[in-house]
Chains A and B, each alone.
Chain A
Amino acid sequence: MMKFLKLKPTVGLLSIPYSLIFIFFFFFPLTLTFIISFWDYNEYSIIPDFIFENYAYIFKDCLNFEKDICVTFKTYLSTFIFCFITWFFTLIIGFFVAYFLAFYVNSITWQIVLFLLCTIPFWTSNVIRMISWIPLLGRNGLVNDFLLSTGLADAPQEWLLYSGFSIVLAFVHLYTLFMIVPIFNSMMRIDKSIIEAAYDNGANGLQILWNVIIPLCKPGIVIGSIFVITVVMGDFITIGIMGGQQIPSIGKIIYVEMSYLQLPAAAANAVILLALTLLIIWIMTKMIDIRKEL
């Protein structure tokens, strides 16, 4: 007990650097963003004020059901759909890659080598990836050449590039790693004797997967999902490049507003995006208590 009391001030001191970083580089800018979202602006400056115009504009026409669905709802809807499809595919692929790495690859060296292979999509810059998708998926690209020469298609398939398909493809290509790492981590913590016990009790492979491995991987799955969903929610580069700038994203709207110095409008959009993303994460953490599981 004495020892604990003696330690306490030190613990407090040790937490100061991180708290300061957190306050200055996270809490402070975020508070500023929130405040500025209520300010007014003109062509070249932002004007301290307390107005709801920035928010009102975002939801303008959104409650008028006779007209077409409003831009904001449409953009969020499209972002949610990308989020869900990307989450689904990264989860399925990521889970089985992690499963393979954890249970079928026994040497640490090979696990590391194969892990490095999974990081390949991150070895190139966005610009290079942007250029290299065209010869593969483009109108005169490899895939279309193959489809035409084998007679599988009689005209070049245009939906391969600059479409929802190519966006999801790029997302899955990039972010599956974010699923693999935490799920793999969870799997490595599973005591092998538990699996043996299940096997000895007569469970088959599928039952072990469903009743033993998946429940024990839940923290990894949730952490991976949080990574993927937050990244996709805020993305505008991948959606921009792979969607040929024709598919909307909240990130792009914020980016355009910022480059025209409409900072309060951008801040309002950012606050809404943040609130929605936090809501999703909150729901996910309700489903599973990460802190307890870790």
Chain B
Amino acid sequence: MKKSLTRRNMLKTSTAAIGAVAGAGLLKGFPAIHAADAPVIRYLGTAVNMGDAVQKKLFDDTGIKVKFIVKTTDEVVKTIFTQPNSFDIVDSEYFSMPKLVPSGNLLGMDTKRIKEWDNVTTAFTKGEVAGKKIGDQGTAPKKVMYLKGAKSKEFASEPTQYVTLIPTVYNADTLGIRPDLIKRPISSWAELLNPEFKGKASILNIPSIGIMDAAMVVEAMGEYKYPDKGNMTKEEIDLTMKIFTEAKKAGQFRAFWSDFNESVNLMASGEVVIQSMWSPAITAVRTKGIPCVYQPLKEGYRAWAAGFGLPSTTKGRQADICYEFINWYLSGWVGAYLNRQGYYSAVIPTAKKYMEAYEWDYWMMGKPATADIMSPEGKKLASKGEVRDGGSYEARMGGVACWNATMDENKYMVRKWNEMIAS
């Protein structure tokens, strides 16, 4: 009798527990912005550049809270398609726009509601840096920036009031190297397939970005000159993959990476000495005290750009809060925070206000540091006298050769990429 009673009690408690868990799950399903006080924004993105400091500062300044939904680049896109109501704001890359815009799941963003719109860098709005045209192969932001209307599913070729994403952050990517293990200058993308680094090279296993790095290498080797690297024909994809398949079979690559941390580990452990890399990964290796250089190369950089979008169902107060958040984001504090990580803020003049003069000179002007350069977390990134890899903003962004891209033959490209991995 006693036994059965205990069992019944236990059943009761566990049912209650299950009920509570299910209830909590249900609650999460509702739109987060509901109550009139302490609004919470569900922020979908990779969040590689977002730290606790941003959340805290945001709350102090505006009373808005952010809940991050962290996913990889590809999964962010998938979430916008499959669960368009699971977030309030999305941090996405411009190269996803050719896929996303026709689906109608994103709202055209009203530039009239963005205070700093006129100060957004010309790299986004015109494809120019300091008045000079920069490379626009691939999905350059200006190609997919403007919409024909707030609910439009088509891009406009001329500037309009409505844009796909409000630009936030961008950078010029290149190869990362271990100068202490290579012991000679590296100046070309072609070095990735140099047999000298057999078994010590790596490339990222995210097809849409990896293919662009691959194209930079193929062109640098003088094998082929693409009319547009960012929009290859089937034959061009075959050619690119053939060169990489042969290199892979010959043992050129130590590993491929698909996760940010993997690239850091490969580089820090010395398993790999030259590879595709992202800016914060370089910083992560360096803060371990291991020399690592984001090597500028003569063929130029592969650039990417990201911005904020809203789901097409957004309206009323929810929209107000999201626009308030975006305006805060562009008002300078975050811009300085991004610049200090080696990225670039979309609105440069406001970011400048929040940076010390010596920081500005190092990060943006390419001048030697006059004091130790610290990361936003307070770790040392560079000593006095050092110069930023690649130099000034104008030198780096001006040297962009192509942008991350979605190709017309994307389906074919992904299949061919899979075949290369399997070979």
A binds B: yes
User: In chain A, residues 2-50, which have Cβ atoms closer than 8 Å to a Cβ of chain B?
Assistant: 43-45
Are the C-beta atoms of B103 and A248 separated by less than 8 Å?
A: no
User: In chain A, residues 53-72, which have Cβ atoms closer than 8 Å to a Cβ of chain B?
Assistant: 57, 71
Are the C-beta atoms of A246 and B74 separated by less than 8 Å?
A: no
B414 CB–A CB distance under 8 Å: yes
Size of the A side of the interface (Cβ < 8 Å), in residues, is: 33
Q: How far in angstroms is the closest Cβ of chain A from B250?
A: 12
1/0 contact string of A118-149 vs chain B (CB within 8 Å): 00000000010011001100111000000000
A258 CB–B CB distance under 8 Å: yes
A178 CB–B CB distance under 8 Å: no
CA distance A79 to B308 in the complex (A): 41
User: In chain B, residues 83-118, which have Cβ atoms closer than 8 Å to a Cβ of chain A?
Assistant: 98-100, 102-103
Are the C-beta atoms of A260 and B256 separated by less than 8 Å?
A: no
Contacts of B31 in A (CB 8 A): none
Nearest opposing residue in chain B for A135, CB measure: B269
Contacts of A196 in B (CB 8 A): none
Contacts of B253 in A (CB 8 A): 244, 246
Are the C-beta atoms of B410 and A71 separated by less than 8 Å?
A: no
B265 CB–A CB distance under 8 Å: yes
Are the C-beta atoms of B421 and A252 separated by less than 8 Å?
A: yes
B254 CB–A CB distance under 8 Å: yes
Are the C-beta atoms of B199 and A71 separated by less than 8 Å?
A: no
A288 CB–B CB distance under 8 Å: no
Are the C-beta atoms of A134 and B255 separated by less than 8 Å?
A: no
Are the C-beta atoms of B414 and A45 separated by less than 8 Å?
A: no
Q: How far in angstroms is the closest Cβ of chain B from A2?
A: 25
Are the C-beta atoms of B78 and A246 separated by less than 8 Å?
A: no
Q: How far in angstroms is the closest Cβ of chain B from A74?
A: 6
Are the C-beta atoms of B271 and A45 separated by less than 8 Å?
A: no
CA distance A240 to B261 in the complex (A): 14
Contacts of B248 in A (CB 8 A): 246
Q: How far in angstroms is the closest Cβ of chain B from A32?
A: 14
Size of the B side of the interface (Cβ < 8 Å), in residues, is: 38
A253 CB–B CB distance under 8 Å: yes
Q: How far in angstroms is the closest Cβ of chain B from A166?
A: 11
Are the C-beta atoms of A256 and B103 separated by less than 8 Å?
A: no
Main DSSP-derived SS at the B contact region = helix
CA distance A244 to B255 in the complex (A): 4
CA distance A74 to B421 in the complex (A): 11
Are the C-beta atoms of A256 and B410 separated by less than 8 Å?
A: no
Main DSSP-derived SS at the A contact region = helix
Contacts of A57 in B (CB 8 A): 415
Are the C-beta atoms of A259 and B262 separated by less than 8 Å?
A: no
B184 CB–A CB distance under 8 Å: no
1/0 contact string of A237-258 vs chain B (CB within 8 Å): 0001100111010001100111
A261 CB–B CB distance under 8 Å: yes
Are the C-beta atoms of B269 and A260 separated by less than 8 Å?
A: no
Are the C-beta atoms of A161 and B271 separated by less than 8 Å?
A: yes
A285 CB–B CB distance under 8 Å: no
A162 CB–B CB distance under 8 Å: yes
B328 CB–A CB distance under 8 Å: no
B411 CB–A CB distance under 8 Å: yes
| Neighbour of A245 across the interface among B98, B258, B265, CB < 8 A | B258
CA distance A240 to B102 in the complex (A): 33
Nearest opposing residue in chain A for B77, CB measure: A261
B257 CB–A CB distance under 8 Å: yes
Are the C-beta atoms of A44 and B99 separated by less than 8 Å?
A: yes
Are the C-beta atoms of B414 and A256 separated by less than 8 Å?
A: yes
Q: How far in angstroms is the closest Cβ of chain B from A281?
A: 25
Are the C-beta atoms of A260 and B421 separated by less than 8 Å?
A: no
CA distance A248 to B245 in the complex (A): 13
Are the C-beta atoms of B78 and A261 separated by less than 8 Å?
A: yes
CA distance A44 to B254 in the complex (A): 34
Contacts of B410 in A (CB 8 A): 43, 260
Are the C-beta atoms of B265 and A134 separated by less than 8 Å?
A: yes
CA distance A134 to B270 in the complex (A): 10
Are the C-beta atoms of B78 and A259 separated by less than 8 Å?
A: yes
CA distance A258 to B422 in the complex (A): 17
Are the C-beta atoms of A71 and B256 separated by less than 8 Å?
A: no
Contacts of B393 in A (CB 8 A): none
User: In chain B, residues 111-131, which have Cβ atoms closer than 8 Å to a Cβ of chain A?
Assistant: none
CA distance A248 to B255 in the complex (A): 12
User: In chain A, residues 148-169, which have Cβ atoms closer than 8 Å to a Cβ of chain B?
Assistant: 158, 161-162
B194 CB–A CB distance under 8 Å: no
Nearest opposing residue in chain A for B202, CB measure: A244
A75 CB–B CB distance under 8 Å: yes
Nearest opposing residue in chain B for A127, CB measure: B261
Contacts of B411 in A (CB 8 A): 43, 260, 262
Q: How far in angstroms is the closest Cβ of chain A from B44?
A: 15
The contact sample of 19 A-B pairs, CB cut-off 8 A, is A44-B81, A74-B423, A127-B261, A130-B265, A134-B271, A138-B270, A139-B270, A139-B271, A140-B269, A158-B199, A161-B271, A244-B254, A245-B205, A253-B422, A257-B418, A259-B75, A260-B207, A261-B77, A261-B81
What residues of chain B have their CB less than 8 Å away from a CB belonging to chain A?
A: 72, 74-75, 77-78, 81, 98-100, 102-103, 199, 205, 207, 248, 253-258, 261-262, 265, 269-271, 406, 410-411, 414-415, 417-419, 421-423
Known: A74-B423, A245-B205. 20 other contacts (CB 8 A): A43-B411, A44-B99, A45-B81, A71-B419, A71-B423, A130-B262, A130-B265, A139-B270, A161-B271, A244-B256, A245-B257, A246-B253, A246-B256, A252-B421, A253-B418, A259-B72, A259-B75, A259-B78, A260-B74, A262-B411
